[in-house]
Chains A and B, each alone.
Chain A
Amino acid sequence: DADVTQTPRNRITKTGKRIMLECSQTKGHDRMYWYRQDPGLGLRLIYYSFDVKDINKGEISDGYSVSRQAQAKFSLSLESAIPNQTALYFCATSKTGDYGYTFGSGTRLTVV
């Protein structure tokens, strides 16, 4: 079983729709992250959480929100999707003091 699971794997949505991407982990890690990957831009940080009650904006948080429902779950929401949010989204986890991330397999989101 995968230890960092992202759902859905692929999603096509329309402009203006609200969509939620989910991430769950069985690693027991306290830290969780959301990144988006775009060709030529690498991975850019959207939000990160060091604890259930500790959520922080990354470099590109506009248009996104997150929820840390439990230590093992970290969801990313697009309140009103727009085409330039079309990307591959990755969830990652780590434990405090260790930047060896464990990544999920990614969610490919297309906004039409």
Chain B
Amino acid sequence: AQRVTQPEKLLSVFKGAPVELKCNYSYSGSPELFWYVQYSRQRLQLLLRHISRESIKGFTADLNKGETSFHLKKPFAQEEDSAMYYCALSSTGRRALTFGSGTRLQVQP
């Protein structure tokens, strides 16, 4: 069975500080990993996916198959980054995305 673990429910940092939101997964095959974000009063939306190796809003995430992790990082947090972040996994084949429990990021001024 596939599982996504986000160990932190809340991460609070000051503006300008580095941010790392942790995500670990368990899956025996080759997963696709994603980060979704939900800003206050907005819909859940895709932030980035590991396949595209892109940087969105200054965030990056690297898939580490050895450590089964897909941590989300940003070198300098901004107040507008405050939101709920969900890590998600898809397996090969037909299944839908499996989401983690989410981490709330608070960026204080």
Contacts and interface: CB of A to CB of B under 8 A. Distances in A.
Contacts of A58: 96
B18 to A, nearest CB: 24
A45 B44 contact: no
Contacts of A100: 34, 46, 49
A50 to B, nearest CB: 7
Contacts, number: 46
B70 to A, nearest CB: 14
Contacts of A90: 44
Contact of B96 (A41, A48, A105, A106): A48
Interface of A: 31, 33, 35, 40-45, 48, 50, 56, 58, 90, 92, 99-101, 103-106
Interface of B: 6, 9, 32, 34, 36, 43-46, 49, 86, 88, 90, 94, 96-102
Closest 4 pairs between A and B when the two form their complex, measured CB to CB: A42-B101, A43-B99, A103-B44, A48-B96
